[in-house]
């Protein structure tokens, strides 16, 4: 039986780097008019997600992937790609930030805070917990995952 012919890693990488950057219109078209709805498919994948993150060796898979990539790759990609995208990404997130944060100022303002205690008192940490608990409760309510 004949073996499949395949290019070298260098040949494949060269083509990928030359051709793929010019395909951003295809990417945009796919996002604009996807063949399947992202939200519906993501919701339908809930059980698969739970199964995937519950496999017995998930910690080994997770840490193995982190070790394989390593800090050097993370730093290189964050600097080479992330820095140039950071500012535009923040600007693009403005409406989503406002929509995501807008339920919380009123939640924080409604917390019946314990009295502030002298500096260094452990009781002051409870004030932070009161705010955190209220925000967490609101978040769960917003995503339909709890009270």
pLDDT in tens, 69-125: 999 999 999 999 999 999 999 999 999 999 999 999 999 999 999 999 999 999 999
Residue 117 lies in a domain: yes
Q: Which domain holds residue 100?
A: 83-147
pLDDT tier, 147 (very low <50, low <70, confident <90, very high otherwise): low
Q: What's the structural domain count of the chain? A: 2
Verify that 47 and 87 share a domain, yes or no. no
Residue 71 falls inside a structural domain: no
Same domain, 87 and 42: no
Domain contains 59: no
In a domain, 98, yes or no: yes
Residues 47 and 102 in one domain: no
Give 122's Cβ-side CA count (13 Å radius). Answer: 0
- With respect to residue 130, please indicate whether it lies within any of the assigned structural domains: yes
């Amino acid at each position: 039986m004949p073996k499949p012919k395949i290019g070298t890693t260098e040949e494949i990488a060269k083509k990928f780097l030359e051709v793929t950057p010019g395909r951003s219109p295809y990417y945009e078209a796919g996002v604009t008019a996807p063949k399947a709805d992202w939200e519906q498919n993501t919701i339908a994948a809930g059980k698969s997600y739970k199964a995937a993150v519950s496999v017995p060796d998930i910690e080994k898979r997770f840490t193995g992937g982190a070790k394989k990539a390593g800090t050097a790759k993370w730093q290189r990609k964050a600097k080479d790609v992330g820095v140039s995208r950071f500012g535009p990404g923040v600007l693009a997130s403005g409406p989503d930030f406002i929509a995501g944060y807008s339920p919380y100022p009123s939640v924080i303002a409604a917390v019946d805070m314990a009295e502030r205690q002298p500096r260094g008192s452990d009781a002051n940490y409870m004030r932070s917990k009161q705010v955190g608990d209220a925000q967490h409760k609101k978040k769960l309510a917003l995503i339909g995952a709890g009270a």
